[in-house]
Amino acid sequence: MLMAPRHFITLMDLSKDELKTLIARAIELKAMRYANKRYEPFKNKVLAMIFEKSSTRTRVSFETAMSQCGGSAIFLSPADTQLGRGEPIEDTARVLSSMVDCVMIRTYAHEKVELFAKYAKVPVINALTDMYHPCQLLADIQTYIEHRGSIQGKKVAWIGDGNNMCHSYIRAAHQFDFELAIASPIGYQPNANLVAEFKEHVSLSTAPAQAVTNADLVTTDVWASMGQEKEHAKRAQVFAPYQVDSHLMSLAKPEALFMHCLPAHRGEEVSAKVIDGPQSVVWDQAENRLHSQKALLEFLLAD
Residues interacting with ligand CP, by CB under 6 A?
A: 55-58, 128, 136, 261-262
Strand partners, 51: 106
Least spacing, CB of residue 43 vs ligand CP, in Å: 26
The answer to whether 130 and 109 have CB atoms below 8 angstroms apart is yes
- Is residue 144 helix, strand or coil? helix
Least spacing, CB of residue 282 vs ligand NVA, in Å: 12
> From the list ligand NVA, ligand CP, none, which binds 243 (C-beta under 5 to 8 Å, kind-based)?
none
Backbone angles phi, psi at 117, to 5 degrees: -65, -35
Q: Which is nearer to ligand NVA, 106 or 201 (CB)?
A: 106
Q: Is 56 annotated as a binding residue?
A: yes
Q: Is 102 annotated as a binding residue?
A: no
Q: Which of 69, 102, 136, 293 is catalytic?
A: 136
Q: Which is nearer to ligand CP, 151 or 259 (CB)?
A: 259
Q: Which of 106, 110, 201, 260 is catalytic?
A: 106
Q: Is 228 known to be catalytic?
A: no
Report long-range pairs for 126-129 (Cβ below 8 Å, ≥24 apart): 126/8, 126/9, 126/10, 127/49, 127/51, 127/55, 127/58, 127/62, 128/53, 128/55, 128/58, 128/164, 129/164
- Is residue 190 helix, strand or coil? coil
Q: Is 33 annotated as a binding residue?
A: no
Cα distance between residue 5 and residue 21, in whole Å: 19
Residue 281: name the closest of 217, 212, 222, 211 by CA: 217
Q: Is 262 annotated as a binding residue?
A: yes
Q: Which residues bind ligand NVA (CB under 6 A)?
A: 128, 133, 163-165, 221-222, 225-226, 261
> From the list ligand NVA, ligand CP, none, which binds 65 (C-beta under 5 to 8 Å, kind-based)?
none
Q: Which is nearer to ligand NVA, 101 or 130 (CB)?
A: 130
Strand (E) or helix (H) holding 76: strand 72-76
The answer to whether 268 and 110 have CB atoms below 8 angstroms apart is no
Q: Which of 25, 101, 261, 285 is catalytic?
A: 261
Q: Is 106 known to be catalytic?
A: yes
> From the list ligand NVA, ligand CP, none, which binds 168 (C-beta under 5 to 8 Å, kind-based)?
none
Least spacing, CB of residue 180 vs ligand NVA, in Å: 17
Q: Is 266 annotated as a binding residue?
A: no
Q: Is 266 known to be catalytic?
A: no
Q: Is 174 annotated as a binding residue?
A: no
Q: Is 289 known to be catalytic?
A: yes
Cβ-in-10-Å burial (0-12, 13-18, 19+) of 303 comes to exposed
What does each C-alpha distance from 12 to 47, 167, 225, 290 come to in angstroms? Answer: 22, 12, 23, 21
> From the list ligand NVA, ligand CP, none, which binds 56 (C-beta under 5 to 8 Å, kind-based)?
ligand CP
Instruction: Put residue 176 in one of left, alpha, beta given phi > 0 → left and psi -120 to 50 → alpha.
Output: alpha
Binding-site residue set = 55-58, 82, 106, 133-136, 164, 221, 225-226, 261-262, 289
Binding-site residue set for L-ornithine = 164, 221, 225-226
Q: Which residues are catalytic?
A: 106, 133, 136, 221, 261, 289
